[in-house]
Amino acid sequence: MQWWTFRDTKTISVGRSLSNQVIVRDSHVSRHHCELRLITLEGREPSWEILGQGKNGTFLNGELITQAELLDEATIQLAPKGPVLKIYLRDRIPDRDELLFSSLSKDAQRALLQRESLKRKPAEEAEAGGRSPDDPAWARNRCSTSRSPPPQHQQGRVGEGGHVH
């Protein structure tokens, strides 16, 4: 997992070439794959946009793009089989467990979630008065506390001053 942080910059280039600020060594990534740009318009909050320049495509949150607004916690994939960057526009640093989980492959994430689910099942049944997770009453009681796992990614972060992790 790699982290990049940028402050006081208006353009961040991403690609294989050593001339980029974010250098990604992957055969699916173009020499100059994409560019993140700070947009400042009078009377508006600064925002970021992404320009996809890679031959194999740039995907923002799973959608192929050539140009798009970049929002906080966006996921950028550099080519269909290329690496994934997670973008943070604010000074939010994910906690250690989220980073470790997100660095695992999708298969490893599924296996970990299944293992944790099996470990919790007896304790949750006791907590639910002996009800099984298959019982609809148990499920209704648990819905408000369930969480979705974070997406798989290599960390990429772009912040107010321009952060890419």
Digit-coded pLDDT (tens) for 6-42: 777 899 999 999 999 999 999 999 999 999 999 998 9
* The pLDDT of residue 147 is above 50: no
* The pLDDT of residue 124 is above 80: no
> According to the model, what pLDDT value does residue 3 have?
74
Distance between CA atoms of residues 27 and 16, nearest Å: 8
Q: Where in the chain is the domain with CATH 2.60.200.20?
A: 11-90+151-155
> According to the model, what pLDDT value does residue 151 have?
41
Residue-wise pLDDT for 42-100, tens only, equals: 998 888 999 999 999 999 999 999 999 999 889 999 999 999 998 888 765 555 555 45
Closest CA to 84 of 5, 164, 12, 156: 156
Q: Which amino acid is at 132?
A: S
Residue-wise pLDDT for 92-122, tens only, equals: 555 555 545 455 555 555 655 566 556 555 5
**11-90+151-155 has which fold?**
Tumour Suppressor Smad4 (2.60.200)
Instruction: Pick 122 or 161 by higher pLDDT.
Output: 122
What strands, in cross-sheet order, belong to the sheet with 75-78?
Answer: 63-65, 58-60, 75-78, 84-86, 154-155
Beta-bridge mates of residue 50: 36, 68
